[in-house]
Amino acid sequence: MRILIAGGGHVATLTARRLTREGNDVVIIERDAERCAELQEKLDVKVVRGSATSISTLRDAGLAQTEIFIAVTDSDEVNVFACLAVQAESKNCLKMARLRTHEFEHWQRVISEIGIKIDLVIHPETEIMERILRVAHLPRISDVIDFADGNVKLFGMNVEPSSWIAGKTLEDLDRAGPPKDSLIALIFRGQQVIIPHGAQVLEPGDHIYIIATKNNLREVMLFMGLDIQERLRRAIVVGGKQVGIWVAEALEKQGVNVKLIEQDSGRCELIAGILNNAIVIHGDGTDQLVLEEENIEGVDTFLALTSDDEDNIIASLLARRLGARKVVALVNRLNYLSMVERLGISTSVSPRLVAVDRILQFVRKGRVLSVTTFREEEAEAIELIATENSRYVGKKLRDISLPRGAIVGAIARSNGEVIVPRGEASINPDDHVIFFTLESVVSELETAFLMERRKADS
């Protein structure tokens, strides 16, 4: 597939690297000459220097042969205008654009009303806010991810030295009588990613992901030894940018006592006019005295959401040491994610990774409903719809030869039934199938799943 990417930043780089590994022909347009040279050195792609809003540049980049155009420059205006230029030049090219404005919903309507056809508008901040709110009241859970319209849940947690599951094998846990339809799907151990089997031992320091259903999520969490807080009472948000304001507003509506700390005094005044009940504090969220003055000890959730990764990490570590029950850090740099996890920060969220996941979901062949990437692109959860002619349909899982490094985590039937399968289970047409896989075998898995049966197989 021929794919043209406008912008040579981090999201473009991550996306291009993934798409080229999966056999796509990728071209990047970038204005900056120095960045062009870096991209040419790092990636196996063609790089064209110029503006994505220039018709001549788009033509030089091969727009006529392009099937998908992805606009992820650092300017919303350029992204929208580039899609308009592509629309004028190529009627059949699919278009994606990332927008980062807080007026996202307004501009989505405007784009539609004036006739610019963008097939996918990506707004990472919206999804980041939703992810934060799903786990803000869960002290020892890193994230909760939905599949199959929310009927399948995946949650992450650390294996603490004092936890009853530390040192146990998966077989030991199975004998302890876990709730039905639950499964440990992934283990992250240092830099290692493990697709586990029954004899696998859970070690202190492991970060694990567990599959559950919507109906038994609470029961599975309790079985794993987790505390469940019914509701938030107090929250501290550090950072008065878009995500910080949105999260504070959402928590206000839930009746949470919110304090928001921001270093810019002018922005504090602006935020105070937006929020209704939250207390806005002019101060530095990485300053221990400021946090102590705001009664950080025992706060239900501490959210470090500035635009600076290092500040977010420092503030989160400080808050954790000072007694915050739950800490969340906004982290853009992917190479920080595994480090943040090892430092004991319970939740980290990455706008860049969210954007890449949405792009991959749209680009990939077949009936891909969702893509979730873990840490530094080391593993994925992929939700696919089984077609009637898929070679996997109608066969028992024990008779299916999955690529090494991939497992079926859950199957959601079209009638609403959800099962976490064992070997005797089979896949039916229209099932939502959630796979957990090492990134290195994603392409092989998708090809195998989507390959149609030959007549001899029927």
Q: What is the pLDDT of residues 77-111, one digit of tens each?
A: 999 999 999 999 998 999 999 998 888 888 888 88
Query: How many Cα atoms are found within 13 Å in the side-chain-facing hemisphere of 363?
Result: 29
Instruction: Give the angle subtended at the CA of 31 by the CAs of 77 and 109, to the nearest 5°.
Output: 15
> Cα separation of 229 and 298, whole Å?
13
Phi/psi for 313 (5° steps) reads -70, -45
Tracing tokens 């860049």 back to the chain, one arrives at 352
pLDDT at res. 456 = 38
Residue type, 392: Y
- 226: Cβ–Cβ under 8 A, 6 or more apart, which residues? 138, 140, 141, 157
> Cα separation of 301 and 138, whole Å?
9
120-122/279-282 β-pairing:
unpaired
- CA-nearest of 248, 215, 246 to 232 is 248
pLDDT at res. 43 = 94
Burial of 457 (0-12, 13-18, 19+ CB in 10 A): exposed
Query: How many Cα atoms are found within 13 Å in the side-chain-facing hemisphere of 129?
Result: 16
pLDDT at res. 366 = 58
Read off the pLDDT of residues 34-64 as tens digits, 9 standing for 90 and up: 999 999 999 999 999 999 999 999 999 999 9
Read off the pLDDT of residues 415-451 as tens digits, 9 standing for 90 and up: 889 998 876 889 999 999 999 999 888 888 887 887 7
pLDDT at res. 64 = 95
Tracing tokens 């102590």 back to the chain, one arrives at 292
Helix (H), strand (E), coil (C) string for the chain: CEEEEECCCHHHHHHHHHHHHCCCEEEEEECCHHHHHHHHHHCCCEEEECCCCCHHHHHHCCHHHCCEEEECCCCHHHHHHHHHHHHHHCCCCEEEEECCCCCHHHHHHHHHHCCCCCCEEECHHHHHHHHHHHHCCCCCEEEEEEEHHHCEEEEEEECCCCCCCCCCEHHHHHHCCCCCCCEEEEEEECCEEECCCCCCECCCCCEEEEEEECCCHHHHHHHCCCCCCCCCCEEEEECCCHHHHHHHHHHHHCCCEEEEEECCHHHHHHHHHHCCCCEEEECCCCCHHHHHHCCCCCCCEEEECCCCHHHHHHHHHHHHHCCCCCEEEECCCHHHHHHHHHCCCCEEECHHHHHHHHHHHHHCCCCEEEEEEECCCCEEEEEEECCCCECCECCEHHHCCCCCCEEEEEEECCCCCEECCCCCCEECCCCEEEEEEEHHHHHHHHHHHHCECCHHHC
> Cα separation of 437 and 154, whole Å?
14
Low-confidence ranges of the chain (pLDDT < 70): 365-367, 423, 452-458
The domains located in the chain, with CATH, are 2-122 (3.40.50.720), 140-223 (3.30.70.1450), 234-353 (3.40.50.720), 386-457 (3.30.70.1450)
